[in-house]
A and B are shown apart, each in its own frame.
Chain A
Amino acid sequence: MHRTKVRVVADALDANNTIAAANRADFDRAGVRVVNFMSAPGAGKTTLLERVVADLPGVRVGVLEGDVQGSMDADRLAGLHVPVVQLNTDGGFGGECHLDANMVRSAIPALPLDDIDLLIVENVGNLVCPAEFRIGEDARVMVSAVTEGEDKPLKYPLMFRACELVLVNKIDLLPHLDVDLNHLLYNIDQVHPDVPRIVLSARTGEGIDAWRNWLTRIGAREEAVV
């Protein structure tokens, strides 16, 4: 048997990135900006959306809900009268733990792109895989709840680097935790120097205005500042 060597030198994620670029072109054509919203399970993504999506001045929001199974999150958001499309990943091998560009592409026909300015894609709760797969978004936001501990940026640097904004959630629980907020913020800064951060509580509403303003500026195509 002979063997021959074929030089390839291709990013193994090229196929995903190509589809992500096609998604981005479709979103741009429709004038829709897209935010990829990521975190570990239970960090508060859906609650943080509930707090703001119905109330972004001048920005019409739609949500694409990624979950392995079920539509609990989508049902919660639909109650706020914003268009929500559910994308379940359990058709894949064992239930995909993240959204990739192709899954988002499959949902595009169901999205009311003509009626929205901003699409928020709530990714599957996971601190690893979603960081690897671009979906055609304009910006990536990740949530780190203080209940997860101070060390998470050091354990999941890929995710903490693959974002343009970090929301530090559940700060109302700090009095009950052995977690030092400054230490968590320091670790975030070590892993992703100067990344914008908003410290907030979806429960009490502290810091929510800054989150609402950030999303509004993205949706209105202004440069987002924290």
Chain B
Amino acid sequence: MHELSLSSAIVNTAAKHAGGRRVLVVNLRVGRLRQVVPDTLDFYFQFVARGTVCEAARLEQEVIPARLRCRGCAHEWAIEIPAFRCPACAGGDVAIASGDEFEVESLEIEAEEAECIAPR
């Protein structure tokens, strides 16, 4: 159900930037820490997009690995499991360097003319 809520947020964001034009592709950056299941998000996205400018659009998801940085000792490391204490100094003041993204990076939209980037 998490992915359903997030799908609506993606469609709304895309619609806001599409200016009424039909969206063909939504390029999304999703950090590993967002606990998003890509297939599930894709499934709900197709569903929620019906009747909007995103109808039948493709959702391209770039998964961003999780990296943390210790503010105490500046150690930086990648995590696969949710352990946020610094393995070098055991400090708890840790910043997320990457992995909490959930952003619409760009849209590919139907255009009348110019700025053509699609293969002919």
**A85-B11 Cα distance, complex, nearest whole Å:** 31
A97 within 8 A of B: yes
* Interface size, chain B (Cβ < 8 Å): 44
Q: How big is the A interface, by class?
A: 35 or more
> At the interface, is chain A mostly helix, strand, loop or mixed?
mixed
Number of interchain pairs (Cβ within 8 Å): 119
Contact string against B for A residues 5-41, beta-carbon threshold 8 Å, 1 for contact and 0 otherwise = 1111111111110000000000000000000000000
Contact string against A for B residues 28-45, beta-carbon threshold 8 Å, 1 for contact and 0 otherwise = 100001110000000000
Q: Do A12 and B6 form a contact, CB below 8 Å, given A3-B116, A3-B118, A4-B111?
A: yes
Q: Using a CB-CB cutoff of 8 Å, which residues 51-80 of chain B contact chain A? A: none
**A193-B1 Cα distance, complex, nearest whole Å:** 28
B77 to A: closest C-beta gap in Å: 14
**A100-B8 Cα distance, complex, nearest whole Å:** 12
Task: Indicate if the CB atoms of A12 and B82 lie closer than 8 Å.
Answer: no
**A139-B55 Cα distance, complex, nearest whole Å:** 38
**A3-B18 Cα distance, complex, nearest whole Å:** 12
Hey, which chain B residues are within 8 Å of A129, CB to CB? 1-2, 5
Binds B, one of A44-52, A71-79, A150-158, A174-182: A150-158
Task: Indicate if the CB atoms of B103 and A12 lie closer than 8 Å.
Answer: yes
Hey, which chain A residues are within 8 Å of B110, CB to CB? 1-3
A96 to B: closest C-beta gap in Å: 7
Task: Indicate if the CB atoms of A193 and B117 lie closer than 8 Å.
Answer: no
Q: Do A5 and B81 form a contact, CB below 8 Å, given A11-B103, A157-B35?
A: no
A59 within 8 A of B: no
B49 within 8 A of A: no
Task: Indicate if the CB atoms of B84 and A190 lie closer than 8 Å.
Answer: yes
The 8 A-B residue pairs with the shortest CB-CB distance in the complex, in nearest-first order: A193-B92, A157-B82, A4-B111, A4-B115, A194-B92, A3-B118, A128-B2, A12-B9
A-B CB contact pairs (8 Å), 15 listed? A2-B111, A2-B115, A2-B118, A3-B110, A3-B117, A4-B117, A10-B17, A11-B103, A12-B103, A98-B5, A128-B1, A129-B1, A157-B82, A193-B93, A194-B93
A12-B103, A190-B85 known; 17 other A-B pairs, CB under 8 Å?
A: A2-B112, A4-B117, A7-B106, A8-B105, A10-B13, A15-B9, A93-B4, A126-B1, A128-B1, A132-B6, A154-B82, A158-B33, A158-B34, A161-B84, A193-B91, A193-B94, A194-B93
Binding site for B on A (CB under 8 A): 1-16, 93, 96-98, 100, 126, 128-129, 132-133, 153-154, 156-158, 161, 189-194
